[in-house]
Amino acid sequence: MRILAFETTCDETSVCLLDDDRLLSNIVFSQINLHRKYSGVVPELASRAHLEKISWVLGAALSKAGYKRPFFSGGRLSGPKIDAVVFSRGPGLPGALLVSRVAAEAASRLLGSKLLGVNHLEGHFLAYEYEGGTASRRIKFPCIGLIVSGGHTELWTAEGYGRYNVMGRTRDDAAGEAFDKVAKLLGLEYPGGPSVEKEALKSGLSGFDFPRPYMEDTFDFSFSGLKTAVAYKLRDMLGHDFYEKRLRPSPADRSRICLAFEEAVSDTLVHKTARACADTGIRRVIIGGGVAANLRLRRKFMELSDKLGYEIGFAEKRYCTDNAAMVALCGARRLAARATGGSLDIAPDLAVVSWP
């Protein structure tokens, strides 16, 4: 089974070809440089940039997979048949989602292949299965899924492929969003996650302490208070108008703040996941999404695993942030289960639901 997949939910334009669990190509064009000067993703710029780049990224993915250019001749592809075209329906930015939707439909019509719209967050979950360029690991069910990305923080119980129940989700800022906003407060580059991680690594011991939003009565998450705690700390150190005046803490303090913030986010994610395991009796956890690339978070989860014997699986770092490979896998697993139905409409607020 050969699958062509498109991903343009936020600020990465990505296309891949998956052949029976083996990636033939997975091209990711990041818009980071475009958004950097705004310290965050500007939706309209993102949509336009996807539109400008999608043909190039598609061409690169096809030629890396061995298709000759021009790859369409008289509506027919010169090369092995592509059985299905898959795209992320959402969640994501509306204009950005449209680009994949239109490109995928055009490709499926030209190729005469099936068209499937899948859930981007399910992609982050399934990304765990890639090892190198092949989806050779299998998620063992039942398990707890923790998705930590720029727009979402979600805890699920997963009973099988396409059988997901949401236990808790973001009430305000997602974990990645909190990283991005704290980076902005500290004058660090976008995207905030990698910048904060790099700064935190410069510091041994923090000396600062930020609250852990455990919210014991729910599995939902709230990271906006933690971001505000960092802002208050900076205000106390630098004055109430530190942000307007672009005042920054010393490099040593900045590193210590980054470390303390990372600790607070990681402790919260570990604590709530451990509680979800205790509550459900499930001892396996799969973690995906951009924030899952964070080394401190990975280390803390490994400590949990050593302490309580839970099986913890992280997506490989390169598959944590957005990519089309994870989208292709959603299609592959769905087709293998013969569950091909579902809407093709883009859905910016799409929640994770079980397959139709």
Q: Which of 158, 162, 300, 273 is nearest to 214 (CA)?
A: 273
* Strand partners of residue 143: 158
The only residue of 3, 4, 5, 10 in contact with ligand KG4, by rule CB under 6 A = 10
> What distance in Å separates the CA atoms of residue 130 and residue 128, rounded to the nearest whole number?
6
Coil vs helix vs strand at 347: coil
Q: How far is CA 330 from CA 4, 47, 51, 73, 315, in A?
A: 12, 23, 23, 29, 14
Q: Is 249 in the site for ligand KG4 (CB under 6 A)?
A: no
The only residue of 19, 154, 173, 197 in contact with ligand KG4, by rule CB under 6 A = 197
Cβ atoms of 323 and 14 within 8 Å: the answer is yes
Q: Which of residues 124-183 bind ligand KG4 (CB under 6 A)?
A: 124, 149-151, 176-177, 179-180
Q: What is the DSSP string of 180-219?
A: HHHHHHTTPPSSHHHHHHHHHHT-S-----------TT-S
The only residue of 90, 192, 213, 331 in contact with ligand KG4, by rule CB under 6 A = 192
Instruction: Determine the size of the site formed for ligand KG4 (CB under 6 A).
Output: 21
Q: Which of residues 121-150 bind Zn ion (CB under 5 A)?
A: 149
Q: Which element (helix H / strand E) includes 156?
A: strand 153-160
Q: Is 90 in the site for ligand KG4 (CB under 6 A)?
A: no
| HSE-CB of 78 using CA atoms within 13 angstroms | 9
Nearer to ligand KG4, 111 or 259 (CB): 259
Q: What x/- string results for residues 262 through 301 when contact with ligand KG4 is judged by CB under 6 A?
A: ---------------------------xxx-xx-------
Which of these segments, 171-179, 198-206, 257-265, 314-322, binds Zn ion (CB under 5 A)?
314-322
Q: What x/- string results for residues 44 through 63 when contact with ligand KG4 is judged by CB under 6 A?
A: --------------------
Q: Which of 178, 170, 165, 141 is nearest to 154 (CA)?
A: 170
Nearer to ligand KG4, 145 or 193 (CB): 193
For residues 200, 201, 203, 207, the Cα torsion angle rounded to the nearest 10 degrees is: 40
The only residue of 95, 145, 168, 194 in contact with ligand KG4, by rule CB under 6 A = 194
Cβ atoms of 221 and 227 within 8 Å: the answer is no
Q: Is 180 in the site for Zn ion (CB under 5 A)?
A: no
193 binds, among ligand KG4, Zn ion, none (CB under 5 to 8 A by kind): ligand KG4
Q: How far is CA 291 from CA 65, 108, 123, 331, 341, in A?
A: 29, 33, 15, 24, 31
Smallest gap from residue 91 Cβ to ligand KG4 (A): 8
Site for Zn ion, rule CB under 5 A = 149, 322
Site for ligand KG4, rule CB under 6 A = 10, 124, 149-151, 176-177, 179-180, 191-194, 197, 289-291, 293-294, 321-322
